[in-house]
Amino acid sequence: MRWSDIDPIIMAALQEDLPAGDITSESLIPPGSSSTAVLLAKEPGVLAGIDVARRVFLKIDPRVRFGKFFEDGAAFGPGDALAEVRGASRSLLKGERTALNFLQRMSGIATKTRRYVEAAGPGTRILDTRKTTPTLRRLEKYAVKMGGGRNHRFSLSDMVLIKDNHLRLVGSITEAVRRARAGAGPRLKIEVEVTNPAEAREAAGAGADMIMLDNMPLAQMREVVGELRGRLPVEVSGQVRLDRVRRIAGLGVDFISVGGLTHSYDSIDISLEFQSEEREGRR
């Protein structure tokens, strides 16, 4: 991640949470109070966003000291301390919720992704989609990578992906691929979404670089993979539940894309637990 991309997201989140400061902490906690707190996992998961959490605290107060015990991509268990934060008590309280919001959600995505990656096995790669939270795509796709998945296109500018609505407007797969090749040029790859073996054959014959099997029955997937194996990469998409991943991967598909990685995950329960209060220097 580039902080030049992430810092505006963090600052917008802090402005949302602290438009006029932290009234509670500023009323209750003396300015000279300093504390130590730990980011504590309440359940198992895969870590993503620990440096984003650190960045939150530093944006509030550059004097905060943040020590990581785990790196992104690492598995952790309940009761594990993920990091220690030291600094002005007010600063830690101001950053608590924003840091946790990023860390819990990103770790939730990484954890769900890891489950899919393990279910698919080494021969099939798990992809994300563009079904992300608006403005948070960079963070969410980063979290997918920390879970062992791969990023599909980041935006509509990255590649040609011809889907059902495009085909309704153009009229045929062959014509759509022809127009895409003429318009996008040789640099960008062309992927075509298909719903049956006949459409897959047409897309392959038209010169597509990759085929996406959308909501296709297993028997038809097997037929397409048998015909295209070694010729074109095959991706499966649409209602891919965790309990089906192993069977789909067993067909020999190259990729399985899962929109739910970034739109239907469960946040991991992580808290910021204050450990002590240092009274020296208090006024």
Catalytic residues: 97, 131, 163, 193, 214
Give me the phi and psi of 263, to 5 degrees please. Answer: -120, -10
| Per-residue CA distances from 246 to 119, 120, 125, 142 (Å) | 5, 5, 12, 24
| Per-residue CA distances from 47 to 3, 27, 79, 143, 214 (Å) | 19, 34, 14, 8, 31
Residues listed for the chain: 283
Neighbours of 240 (CB within 10 A): 20
How far apart are alpha carbons 33 and 44 in whole angstroms?
Answer: 33
Beta strands in the chain (DSSP E): 34-41, 45-46, 65-68, 75-76, 81-88, 125-127, 160-162, 190-194, 210-214, 234-237, 255-257, 270-278
> Which residues lie below 8 Å from residue 60, measured CB to CB, with a gap of 6+?
14, 91, 94, 95
| Per-residue CA distances from 160 to 20, 156, 238, 243 (Å) | 45, 8, 19, 30
